[in-house]
Chain A
């Protein structure tokens, strides 16, 4: 599956076995996206949340 980076317009390859909620990264600029939806039409990405102070184990 493919998507386009909204920051640098590079092509982002999303693995075929990706699931909703998975994080993918733009190989060109490093922007992180979360898989928002997967339909027959294709994959939709949304910007991933940035690391916050309470994140972790």
Chain B
């Protein structure tokens, strides 16, 4: 493809603000695959400060690593998304839940793989969840992101959107005894060919957060598709096991096009 590629372990990098650079040469563009959201954010911010573009960009990584920022971007982009309320302290949670109606979904602002995503079927359960959250030491856990519970089949849609193309899409089917559809929670994947209207929505959702290489998650509701999440460092083990298309190839082709621009 006419480009030279080097794998760099982000954990080994040191940035010097005076020297405007890192302790190693990082080339013309960096594709960030850090598993740590904060590491990815700091790496992208510093890279962009010295004129090295990265995929995804700092603003996209920041937006996607915080569920409220993602929601705001989706709303701003006119993307149908579940109704979301944010309470800035535990005090506001009962009022937010009343407004949404039970059951409600409680999610951490930062987190992945369905971790700490909880379904509160009634006020007692929600109170218990809030009590536990208040015991956590991270101040971010004391801001409450509550979402309407969308009645949907026991599955959602994961699309890997690369640039302006849906590289692959799968259904993620919840494991037995589990309502969450994360592959990390045991969900299985099935190939799925989205129709034109859905493709348009998925690409538009990726654009709404800034575009790049993204994992867009959508649900089938009685009122149509709702996009509930956009992932900035998309994982595709589950998706790749269900589709013929090579997702890494699609990503590499996109990166080569971007670096040659």
Task: List the interface of chain A (C-beta within 8 A of B).
Answer: 19-21, 49, 52-57
Contact = CB atoms under 8 A, between A and B. Distances in A.
Given A21-B7, A21-B9, A52-B36, A57 B111 contact: no
B235 A57 contact: yes
A44 to B, nearest CB: 14
Contact of B115 (A21, A49, A56): A56
B57 interface: no
Contacts of B115: 56
Residue from A20, A53, A55 with most neighbouring chain B CB atoms (10 Å): A53
Given A49-B11, A55-B37, 11 more contacts: A20-B7, A21-B7, A55-B112, A56-B35, A56-B112, A56-B113, A57-B113, A57-B215, A57-B231, A57-B233, A57-B234
Nearest to B112: A56
Interface of B: 7, 9, 11, 35-39, 65, 110-113, 115, 138, 215, 231-235
A53 B111 CA distance: 6
A2 to B, nearest CB: 23
Given A20-B9, A21-B7, A21-B9, A54 B234 contact: no
Contact of A56 (B9, B11, B37, B138): B37
A54 B37 contact: yes
A53 B39 CA distance: 12
Contact of B138 (A20, A53, A57): A53
Contact of B112 (A19, A20, A21, A57): A57
B173 to A, nearest CB: 18
B232 to A, nearest CB: 7
Residue from A19, A52, A55, A56 with most neighbouring chain B CB atoms (10 Å): A56
B215 A56 contact: no
A28 B215 CA distance: 35
B157 to A, nearest CB: 15
A21 B65 CA distance: 23
Q: Pick the 8 closest A-B CB pairs, nearest first.
A: A56-B112, A57-B231, A54-B37, A57-B112, A55-B35, A54-B38, A21-B9, A56-B113
